[in-house]
Every structure is written in C-alpha cells, then in structure tokens.
Amino acid sequence: MKLQLLEKYSSFDDKNSNFDFHIWNYLETPFHTHRDYYELFLVTKGPIKYYVNGKMVLLKSKDMSIVRPSDKHKFFHMQDDTACQHINLAVDCEYFNYFTTLISPTLKDTVNSIEGHIIVSLSDEQFNYFNYLKRVINTIPSDETQQRNINYDLLLFNMLSIFNISTCRENETYPSWFSSLLNEISKPYFIDKTVNDMYALCPYSSPVIVKAFKDHLNTTPIKYLTNLKMTYAKNLLMATDYNTLDICTRIGYASLSHFNHVFKEFYGITPSQYRKKSKLIISD
C-alpha cells in the first residue's frame, strides 16, 4: 500500500493546555505522523479499519492504543458505513514524558521501544470507567480550563497505568489466576481496598499469593498494592486541588499521619512537598 505521508504538528485549541481532546465519529483520515505529540485513543464503537506502521488492523470496541510521534497511521472508511467512534487524547511530548515517570521510571522507554504498534483490550469495567470520564469531560464548560485539565490528567493517568501493567505482563508468563488477580486490583474501584480485600479475590491461601508476588514480581502483595496507591496519590497531588486528607481517604488510608509517612518512605518527600515541587515543574 503506497500512501502519501503527512506530518502533523500540534495545534491544540487551548494554548494553555498540554492536551487536545476529541470524540471522533468516524471519518477517514490522511496517512500521517505526529511530529511533536503523542496520541492515545479508545475505540468506543467499532470495528474500525486502522493502518499503522505498514500493517492493517481491525480495531474493535474497547481497544485502546498509544500513537507515538514516529508512528505512521491512518483510519479507513468502512465499506458498509458502520457507525464508528473513538475517544482521542493528544498530549504534548514533554508533558507525556513527564507524566510517564509518575507511573513508572521505565514506562517512557518501554512505550518508545515497542516495535509495530501498541494496542490493548480493556475489560468491561475499565471501558465503562473511561466512558464515565468521557461524559464528565463533555459536561465541563469550555472556559473551565483547570477543571478540564484535571479530568484530562485523570484520563491520561488511567490510560497509561493500563498500558504499563499490560506491557509489563507481556515480558512475563504468569499463571492465569495471578494475571486475573493483577488485572482486578489495577481497576479504579480497588484503589481504596486493603491487602485482605486482595486475598479475598483469590481462591488460594495468602501464603500462596505472597509466594507468587515474590516469584513473579520480586515484591510483596502489600508493597505492590501500596505502590498503586502512592502512584495514584501522586497524580491527585499534581493534577487536582484535593487536600491531603481527602487524597488519603480516597486511597483507603484511615490515618493522615500514616499516609504522610508511607508517601515519604516511597518518594523521600512529604505529599505537600511533592505537590509544591510538581507545580513548579509544570509551570517551568
């Protein structure tokens, strides 16, 4: 297939935002790359014919993708006029790189090193959560820039968290029960749960689960779950105006002093210090 390649530059509607958000009711696009931004999209109505880096892919509902600046891609018109739609979040390169480090220090390199294309399929619960965020964003007035950016941050955080878990698993062969367990505790509803709630999800005893975390991830269930909570807390500190007590409660901590202590153990600074530091970085 020989196509003329176009090079698109970011031209975000809001010059004060690192994002551009659209809900595309399917139209054919030119064959193009993104010179200075990443694009994350989620198919909400499929199928969609998608050509990326020399390969034709048929995307279905609940498929989600990261498009890197160097990726060459195009959406094709379906012959039978099937109604198609996808959520599209474009992100400035600098902000994307910064944000990936909040989730994992290796995520940016992982995303950029994957050959071909990056597509993951969501669970029903994950898909419903993104549809919920889409509805929330659509209700925010266009002049409420801060509120829209907060929700874009939440959308980006959840998308990248799913990609991070998915790409990590591709390099490991886990028992099916363990993969199911990791998938379940990564869902948004689980962020305020405890390690005992984790054990209750699994038909095996806690020693078996502890051994699986040690063998496959070289960590403990408590540390793994705490890492998810602290990553989520970092995002809220950076992207929202929620006070630390509210964030502490949202991720399931009954004691603010304990939350502050755990956060400092993970990152070397207190939540309030992290918020101040992250605001300075973003404004530079």
Which tens digits make up the pLDDT trace of 130-152? 888 888 888 888 888 777 887 88
- Report the CATH fold assignment for 6-170: Jelly Rolls (2.60.120)
Q: Could you give the angle at which helices 221-239 and 176-185 cross, rounded to 10 degrees?
A: 30
Is this model's pTM higher than 0.75 or not? no
Domain at 176-283, CATH from 1.10.10.60, 1.10.10.10, 3.40.50.300, 3.90.230.10 = 1.10.10.60
pLDDT, tens only, 268-278 = 889 998 888 76
Cα distances (Å, whole numbers) of residue 7 to 35, 69, 106 = 6, 9, 28
At 207, the pLDDT band (50, 70, 90 cuts) reads very high
pLDDT, tens only, 68-115 = 998 999 988 776 666 788 899 999 998 898 888 777 777 888 899 888
Cα distances (Å, whole numbers) of residue 234 to 13, 228, 258, 267, 280 = 27, 10, 16, 10, 15
Q: What are the residue ranges spanned by the domains of the chain?
A: 6-170, 176-283
pLDDT, tens only, 150-194 = 788 888 888 888 888 777 655 556 788 888 888 788 777 889 999
Single-letter amino acid code for the residue at 254: A
- Three-state secondary structure readout of 71-101: CCEEEECCCCCCCCEEEEEEEEHHHHHHHHH
Q: Which two tokens stand for residue 261?
A: 């202590």
Distance CA 92, CA 252 (A): 32
